[in-house]
């Protein structure tokens, strides 16, 4: 199950607190917060005037759902927000009442992308819950998310790295469900995008090894070792080559 402490927002707690204070000033409830007519971002929030409405909406929608849960109960909140078009509203429901329900998780990922959402837990849970019983549907849901998120232009410095991690996760999912050629293609693409790192190659080797594809695991360890050498990381290269040789012996 999801932990009750699952992170659903990338907004720093201090910034979220300042946003809540600014948005609730002069209104009695979150239902009354006007997201159509916002002033400039309040002091202490490092966001542009263009991004402020999106951040404000992210914070306010989450608080709106929590307010309904607190005042009217989970059943009413579920009735009102379970089919929401906003990822954060659905995410708060999952946060409040963790369930092993792949449809609820996939529903969060299918909403319009919210750059302030922390999607990592939902992507991981999608794979955990869906890969075995419905590999095709799980891959399709993950691919839709990655495709939509890749088209988002965000000023958040963390966004490119979060997208790289999501694509690495998709490659690992391809391996897990037996789509080795798609995994190989995506890992190669990611490998070329990260010329100063061995992380993608090592991750690919690990994923293929866990799936029992030792030959591909060895090939990726060899790539990782070669890159480690090129980066002047001789000790890492030696460890990777040793592991590759050990696995290669199993093949022979």
pLDDT tens digit string along 164-223? 999 999 999 999 999 999 999 999 999 999 999 999 999 999 999 999 999 999 999 999
Q: Which pTM does this prediction carry? A: 0.93
- pLDDT for res 3: 40
Q: Is the pLDDT of residue 4 over 90?
A: no
Q: Which long-range contacts (CB under 8 A, 24 or more apart) does 141-150 make?
A: 141/106, 141/109, 141/110, 142/109, 142/169, 142/170, 142/173, 143/170, 144/109, 144/110, 145/109, 145/110, 145/113, 145/119, 146/170, 148/112, 148/113, 149/113, 149/119
Query: What Å distances lie between residue 64 and 23, 100, 214, 230, CA to CA?
Result: 12, 24, 50, 52
Mean pLDDT of 10-29: 94
Kindly list the structural domains of the chain, giving each domain's residue range(s) and its CATH number in brackets, ordered by start.
6-149 (no CATH), 158-252 (1.25.40.10)
Torsion sign over Cα 170, 171, 173, 179: positive
- pLDDT for res 125: 95
Torsion sign over Cα 99, 102, 103, 107: positive
């Amino acid at each position: 199950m999801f932990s009750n402490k699952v992170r659903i927002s990338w907004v720093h707690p201090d910034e979220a607190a300042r946003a809540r204070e600014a948005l609730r000033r002069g209104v009695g409830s979150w239902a009354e917060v006007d997201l159509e007519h916002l002033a400039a971002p309040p002091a202490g929030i490092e966001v542009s005037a263009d991004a402020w409405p999106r951040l404000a909406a992210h914070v306010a929608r989450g608080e709106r759902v929590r307010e309904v849960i607190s005042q009217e109960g989970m059943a009413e909140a579920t009735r009102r927000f379970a089919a929401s078009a906003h990822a954060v509203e659905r995410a708060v429901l999952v946060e409040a009442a963790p369930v092993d329900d792949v449809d609820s998780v996939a529903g969060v990922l299918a909403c319009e992308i919210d750059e302030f959402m922390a999607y990592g837990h939902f992507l991981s849970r999608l794979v955990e819950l869906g890969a075995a019983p419905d590999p095709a549907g799980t891959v399709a849901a993950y691919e839709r998310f990655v495709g939509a998120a890749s088209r988002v232009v965000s000023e958040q410095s963390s966004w490119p790295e979060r997208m790289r991690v999501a694509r690495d996760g998709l490659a690992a999912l391809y391996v897990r469900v037996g789509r080795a050629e798609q995994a190989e293609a995506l890992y190669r693409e990611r490998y070329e995008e990260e010329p100063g790192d061995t992380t993608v190659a090592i991750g690919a080797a690990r994923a293929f090894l866990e799936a029992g594809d030792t030959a591909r695991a060895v090939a990726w360890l060899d790539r990782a070792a070669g890159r480690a050498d090129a980066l002047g990381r001789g000790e890492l290269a030696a460890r990777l080559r040793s592991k590759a040789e050990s696995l290669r012996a199993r093949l022979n």
